[in-house]
Amino acid sequence: MIRRRFLCALAPGAAAILMGCDSAPQDPLVGVAGVPAGMVRLYFYRENRPYDALVWTAITLNGRVVGSSAPGTVFYRDVAPGTYRIDARTDELYPDQAKTVVVKPGMTVFVRIASAGAYGKSDLQWRGNAFVVQIVDPAVAQLQMRRLELAQD
């Protein structure tokens, strides 16, 4: 009898705790409007990775800042079709850091901003952050972005 009362007393609390534990991935793109006619959508995202630089970094298209990337966030920009050089502000040089894309109306491009870590450093002295731009397959990118937060301007 005592055991039953104890379990019944715990049940409402346990249910409340479990309701707050949503194990399903949260998709930041749910509810985002489609690509406007004649435009191109570029998604920029940065995963939460161990040992990643915990700083924001500016993202540029053809030298013009279009947003900032932080670990665990995703943002997008709708742009006109054309050729774009995508850069992430960086303190250290890294091979093939920037990417150039040619985009056509209706396209969606997924751009991962990745920390290059301690590339080229032979000692333990901090010399700044290095970021690289990676163009990612849409199916892979959508899986990687599922737990990220949509950054609002």
Domains of the chain listed by start with CATH number: 26-150 (2.60.40)
The 10s digit of each residue's pLDDT in 101-138 is 999 999 999 999 998 765 555 556 666 788 999 999 99
Q: What is the DSSP letter of 55?
A: S
Residue 121, strand partner residues: none
* Predicted confidence (pLDDT) at residue 72 exceeds the cutoff of 60: yes
What pLDDT is attached to residue 124? Answer: 62
Q: Phi then psi for 5, rounded to 5 degrees?
A: -60, -40
HSE (side-chain half, CA atoms, 13 Å) at 111: 31
Q: How far apart (Å, rounded) are the C-alpha atoms in residues 61 and 72?
A: 21
> Does residue 1 register a pLDDT over 60?
no
Q: What is the DSSP letter of 102?
A: E
Tokens 């990118």 label which residue?
Answer: 141
Neighbours of 46 (CB within 10 A): 29
What pLDDT, in 10s, does the model give residues 8-60?
554 555 444 444 444 444 566 667 889 999 999 999 999 987 767 678 999 99
What pLDDT score was predicted for residue 6? 45
Residues 83-92: tens digit of each pLDDT: 999 999 988 7
The CA–CA distances, whole Å, from 49 to 1, 54, 116, 122, 149 equal 50, 10, 12, 22, 14
Phi-psi region of 114 (alpha: psi -120 to 50; beta: other; left: phi over 0): beta
